[in-house]
Structure 1
Amino acid sequence: MKNSITITSILQSMLTPEEVQRVVKLIGYEDKARKFTVYHLLQYWCMAALEQWGSYRSSVDYAALCGLPVVHYSRFSTKAAEVPFSVFKELFHLLVCKCNREARRKLTFPKELLLIDSTTMTVGKTRLPWAPYHGERAGIKLHVALRAENGQPLQVVETLGSKHDGPMSEALAQPDYILVMDRAYGKLERLDHFKTHGQSFVIRLRDNVHLEKPHALRRLTKPDSSVIRDITCQLGTPQCRSTQRHRVVMFRDFEGREIRVVTDLMQVTAEQIAQIYKARWQIEVFFRWIKQHLNIPTLFGTTENAVYGQLFCALIVYVLLNWLFVAAQTSWPQHAVLSFARFSRLFLLQNLPVEWLIQIQRVLLQCTSCFMN
């Protein structure tokens, strides 16, 4: 058994150089380099995210300690600006498909929750002149559809920071899931569209949306329920009103604030709908975690390829760590039980308990055999 398991060794188990080369050809990029290929760039980006390297220059100083090929920092910078970021985006989604394979077999409900939201990274406008945002700031966004069941991203779309969140929900919609979203996505025409096309959703309503012709639904009152009201109604004013009647559930959050959510779900209780919306907090935790632990706020480059390439490789690291944490779960003795945050920290320090190392080796071995077959 190996004494340590690194992100590059896991990456090699999940994405072979041949697979990366196929994606490179599919995108149409010609990789002529021998000493510093796209696969090496992928490894550099992943290590930079996990170990939170500070720049191109400092990265090459750490590379030798990680067993990566040593190149001048200008070569790293040039390659990052040269390789289309769509290569890393395609590799990310390929990896997501692989890591979700086992999870699909474990589904026990006809539909699971898909949490949709976005996060913005901003810098001074002179750093990214192609991405104007607000005033003296430039910014880019990642729009994410996150599976609530296993905490894995299902799909990610990159845009400029000025892009509105609402329309992106239509690009991220998945009829096999229940979409859970915040107020920015609650446009009335979109709600009608989702309901007409069979897309299940639970979306928070803006406070100023008018409820027209409300009709209370019969429900059993539960003790200690946070639900205030459960109705069906049309939404909006005569100037802008939904064509469909929608179910609206009102409840109080843990701070006592009134929350109104709209949904097409009719066969579940109001308390369950409140719990579904509360699950949306998981995507906020996801955004906070990747920003704190994967070096995302520190953008190395200034071109689209360098910026988005770095971000998609950081997401690849998250997918690998999360998949490994979930796949290695078993009946641990008390001293070996870990949270995801502690698992990630010990993984980085190469100080995981021996029980975890043994189980991870088994998972990687099974994974390699499965993908080869």
Structure 2
Amino acid sequence: MKNSNRFLSFLQSLLSPETVAQAAKNAGYEDTSRQFSVHWLLEFWTLSAVHRWKSYRSGADLAQSAGLKSAHYSRISTKAAEVPYSVLKELFHRLVSQKNRRFRRQLAFPKELLLLDSTTVTVGETRLPWAPYHGKKAGIKLHVALRETQHVPEKVEETTGSVHDGPISDQLVHPDFIMIMDRAYGKLERLDRFKTSKQSYVVRLRDNVNLHEPRSLRRHPSEASNVIRDISCQLGTPQNRSQERHWVVMFKDYEGREFEWLPI
């Protein structure tokens, strides 16, 4: 009971009932229930995660002993289903922004790494008919920009599974970070835009990218280095070539495989 009150107090310090109510209002959701509000639902979910309640039914039996108002499990399930996803997304971004403010004052320090990637979840086509994916499957995709040092998401975007990663990266980039991306994000026009806007980034190049007019860069050689090649060049063919010259580093990993990365 004591630990439960501590978690509920901590949650309220981050997301007060007024903050949650405002997020619901912004989403056009009318939270008419005074006893079982969206904030109450967040408290229930928090304690469910802390105590590892197995289901709404078991949670309903234990909620009162954990410091929450009791509710029938069907009431909890109905509330969870009716609260729009947009409310929870706004609250999530509020939590992330509050945590990140503690570190943003360190602007004179070297930039942090921000890792960009996505995860696709697939189900049968009848489960999500509005999100066709491949064949008889439907899918949704979560695009995440993750702060490497804190393991905290900076931003999250959701799409259907068929949406390509590259265009979504424009919504996830941040000038205060060094963006770390795989080759799905390496469109030439996007890389040129990153360079002209002084966006720091590192991206793995596709295997078939042509390196035009390579020039070796001066660097101090090291016997322990796994760097094979260190050049500047334009990227692509005459039909589709970058306007800017980019820095390309080729290296071997610990298994002897060769990779080309584009750092700036």
Q: Which secondary structure state, in structure 2, belongs to the residue aligned with residue 104 of structure 1?
A: coil
1:38 aligns with 2:75: no
Q: Alpha carbons of 1:65 and 1:124: their partners in 2 closer, same or farther (altered >3 Å)?
A: farther
> In the alignment, what sits opposite 1:149?
149
TM (normalized to structure 1)? 0.65
Distance in 2 (alpha carbons) for counterparts of 1:61 and 1:138: 35
CA contact (8 A) 2:215 2:231 kept: yes
Q: Which secondary structure state, in structure 1, belongs to the residue aligned with residue 104 of structure 2?
A: helix
1:172 aligns with 2:189: no
Matches within 5 A, 1:186-205: 186-205=186-205
Per-residue deviation at 1:63?
Answer: 3.2
Q: Alpha carbons of 1:73 and 1:137: their partners in 2 closer, same or farther (altered >3 Å)?
A: farther
Structure having the larger proportion of residues in helix: 1
Per-residue deviation at 1:27?
Answer: 2.5
Q: Alpha carbons of 1:49 and 1:130: their partners in 2 closer, same or farther (altered >3 Å)?
A: farther
> In the alignment, what sits opposite 1:29?
29
1:109 aligns with 2:118: no
Per-residue deviation at 1:107?
Answer: 5.3
Q: Which amino acid aligns with 2:19?
A: E
1:90 aligns with 2:93: no
Distance in 2 (alpha carbons) for counterparts of 1:62 and 1:128: 33
Percent sequence identity is 62
Q: Alpha carbons of 1:126 and 1:193: their partners in 2 closer, same or farther (altered >3 Å)?
A: same
Q: Alpha carbons of 1:44 and 1:130: their partners in 2 closer, same or farther (altered >3 Å)?
A: farther
> In the alignment, what sits opposite 2:131?
131
Tell me which moved more, 199-208 or 16-25.
16-25
1:16 aligns with 2:45: no
Distance in 1 (alpha carbons) for counterparts of 2:113 and 2:100: 14
TM (normalized to structure 2)? 0.89
Aligned length: 263
> In the alignment, what sits opposite 1:275?
none
Per-residue deviation at 1:236?
Answer: 1.3
Q: Alpha carbons of 1:50 and 1:164: their partners in 2 closer, same or farther (altered >3 Å)?
A: farther
CA contact (8 A) 2:4 2:47 kept: no
> In the alignment, what sits opposite 1:216?
216
Per-residue deviation at 1:97?
Answer: 1.7
Distance in 1 (alpha carbons) for counterparts of 2:26 and 2:130: 26
The root-mean-square deviation of aligned C-alpha atoms, in Å, is 2.2
> In the alignment, what sits opposite 1:303?
none
Q: Alpha carbons of 1:3 and 1:239: their partners in 2 closer, same or farther (altered >3 Å)?
A: closer
Per-residue deviation at 1:123?
Answer: 2.8
Q: Which has the higher contact order (CA 8 A, sep 6+)?
A: 1
CA contact (8 A) 2:166 2:187 kept: yes
> In the alignment, what sits opposite 2:158?
158
Structure 2 gaps of 5+ residues are none
CA contact (8 A) 2:178 2:202 kept: yes
Q: Alpha carbons of 1:39 and 1:3: their partners in 2 closer, same or farther (altered >3 Å)?
A: closer
Per-residue deviation at 1:33?
Answer: 0.6
> In the alignment, what sits opposite 2:181?
181
Structure 1 gaps of 5+ residues are 266-373
User: Greater Rg, structure 1 or structure 2?
Assistant: 2
> In the alignment, what sits opposite 2:236?
236
Q: Residue by residue, what CA displacement relative to the aligned partner does 1:146-179 show, whole Å, maximum 9, x if unpaired? A: 1123221111111112211111111111122211
> In the alignment, what sits opposite 1:119?
119
Distance in 1 (alpha carbons) for counterparts of 2:172 and 2:39: 28
Structure having the larger proportion of residues in strand: 2
Per-residue deviation at 1:190?
Answer: 0.9
